[in-house]
Amino acid sequence: MDVADTALWSDARATPVILARTLDQADGFADVAAFLTRPGVRRVVATGNGAALYAAQALWLAALRAPGDAPEVVAAPAGLLGTGDLARRPGDALLVVSSSGELRDVVEVLRTAPVPYAAITSTPDSTIGAGAAARAAVAVDSQDAVTHTQAFVGNVAAALAVWALAAGDDGLRRELHAAPELLAPAVAEAPAWAAEATAATAAAPDRDGEALPTAAVVFGSGPAWAAALEAALLLKEVAGIPAEGLETREGATSGMYALTADHLVLSLPTGPDRLLEEAEATCARTGARLLRAPGGDRGDARLAAVTTFPAALALAVALGLAAGRDVDRPAWAGAYYATARVAQKGRPPAGAAVPAPDSRRERPAAVVEGELPGV
C-alpha cells in the first residue's frame, strides 16, 4: 500500500478545498474576534489538547509579532485548566480550540466553574460549541481515518483569521486567503517526497540493520515551532516513532544530545534562516539522517503549521506503512478517547482498541452521534 491508498491521505487530499470553504464562510470569526477584544480584555488564554493545542500555539506565536496595543496571547494545555494550575486573572478571555467540542478537561472545568468563553470547533452543536459565547466554525467534509487532517488545518487557519481581525492585521488576512492555493501543490507533491525520503532514511549508512528511524527530532523557527510540534505528533501517532518537536535553537542544543545514526531529524524551513542551517549542521554531525520538509517557504511564515502539514503527514504515513502499522486505525485510539473526551454512550473504555470496520471508507467505531475524531 502507498500513502495515496490510505483513508488518512484521502482525508488530507481534500484539505485545500475544505480550507477555502472555512475561510470563505468565516462563520463566527468576527464574533470571536469581538469577544477577544471586548473592553477590559488584557489577555487571551488559548487552550486545547494535542493538535488543537498546537493550533493555539500557532496563534500565540503569530501574536508575538503583533503591535503593542493588541491583547497578549498565551497558549496553555487544557490539562492546566483541569488541575487548577492556570490561575484566571482579571481581563482574561478564554479561547477553546476543540474539533470535537467534547474536550474533557475543558467541559469538566466549565461545568464546575462556568465562565464565558469563545470556541473554535468543527462541531458547533457539541458541548463546547453550544455553550460558547462566540463560536468560529471549521469546515470538515470527511474523517475516515482517526488522525485529524482537515480539522487541524482548519483550526490553525481559523485561529489566525480571528487574530487578523482582532489585531487589524490585513497582511495576515491576505496571506490566509491565499493559503488554499499554497496548500494544493504541497498536498500534490507530498506523497512522492515522502516515498523518496523514507527510502533514503532506510538506506542511511551505519544503521546496523535498522530499516527505519527509532526516534526523531523536528524543529522550526518562530511560528514553525508549532508546525514542528504537530509534525512530531504525527510521527508518534501515525508512524509510532517517538519524536520531539522543538524551536530551532533548542533543536541545535538540547534536541541533539541523544541523536545517533538510527534517528531522524526533520527540519521545517520557512525561508532563509541562519539558525536553522546551524541546527541542521549540528544535528547532522551526530550521524542522524537529516530531512528538509518542503512547503514552509510557501507564503507567510505564520502559516507554517498549514504549509508544512502535507509533507509531515505524508512522511509519517510512509514510515508507518513501512513499519507495517495500520495508519488509519491506530491501536492507541481507544485509550485516547477514554482519556481526552467526555464519557458518552458508545465510547470505548480506557485501553481498548478501536475495532477495524469492514470497509476502509467506514467511519471509525469511536465516532458517535456525529462526533469527529481528533480533539
Task: Please answer whether residues 97 and 53 qualify as being in contact, where contact means their C-beta atoms are separated by less than 8 angstroms.
Answer: yes
DSSP state of 216: E
With left for phi above 0 and alpha for psi between -120 and 50, is residue 219 left, alpha or beta? beta
> How far does the chain reach from its first CA to its final CA, in angstroms?
28
**Alpha-helical runs (H) found in the chain:** 7-13, 15-25, 29-36, 51-63, 78-83, 104-112, 127-131, 150-167, 170-177, 179-202, 224-237, 248-252, 274-284, 304-307, 309-322, 333-340
Average pLDDT, the chain: 88
- Distance between CA 78 and CA 72 in Å, rounded? 18
pLDDT digits (tens, 9 = 90+) for 264-321: 999 999 999 999 999 999 999 999 999 999 999 999 999 999 999 999 999 999 999 9
Identify the pLDDT of residue 345: 37
- Distance between CA 117 and CA 172 in Å, rounded? 24
* Alpha-carbon torsion angle 93, 369, 79, 32, nearest 10: -10
Residue 352 in this model has a pLDDT that exceeds 80: no
Angle of helix 179-202 relative to helix 309-322, nearest 10 degrees, comes to: 30
Q: Counting Cβ atoms within 10 Å, is residue 314 exposed (0-12), middle (13-18) or buried (19+)?
A: buried
How far is residue 274 from each of residues 221, 280, 362, measured CA to CA in Å?
10, 10, 47
3 state SS of 57: helix
* Alpha-carbon torsion angle 134, 80, 115, 44, nearest 10: -50
Q: Kind and range of the H or E element at 219?
A: strand 215-220
Identify the pLDDT of residue 333: 80
CA 206 to chain centre: 33
Q: Which residues contact 64 (CB under 8 A, 6 or more apart)?
A: none
Identify the pLDDT of residue 35: 98
Kindly report the pTM of this predicted structure: 0.89
CATH hierarchy code of domain 3-177: 3.40.50.10490
Q: In the sheet where 215-220 sits, what is the strand order?
A: 243-247, 215-220, 263-267, 289-292
Q: Which residues contact 3 (CB under 8 A, 6 or more apart)?
A: 9, 190, 191, 194, 195, 314, 317, 318, 321
Q: Which three cell numbers stand for residue 129?
A: 460549541
CATH architecture of 182-322: 3-Layer(aba) Sandwich (3.40)
pLDDT digits (tens, 9 = 90+) for 165-195: 999 999 999 999 999 999 999 999 999 999 9
| 202 confidence band (pLDDT: 50, 70, 90) | low
Residue 206 in this model has a pLDDT that exceeds 70: no
Identify the pLDDT of residue 65: 84
Q: What percent of the chain has pLDDT over 70?
A: 88
Q: Which residues contact 188 (CB under 8 A, 6 or more apart)?
A: none
Domain residues of the chain, as ranges?
A: 3-177, 182-322
Q: Counting Cβ atoms within 10 Å, is residue 249 exposed (0-12), middle (13-18) or buried (19+)?
A: middle
Q: Which three cell numbers stand for residue 15?
A: 484539505
Which of 106-110, 120-124, 263-267 is predicted with the least confidence, judged by mean pLDDT? Answer: 106-110
Angle value at C-alpha 310, between 305 and 315, nearest 5 degrees: 115
- The count of other CB atoms within 10 Å of the CB of residue 250 is 17
DSSP state of 330: -
Residue 364 in this model has a pLDDT that exceeds 50: no
Q: What percent of the chain has pLDDT over 90?
A: 77
CA 150 to chain centre: 10
3 state SS of 94: strand
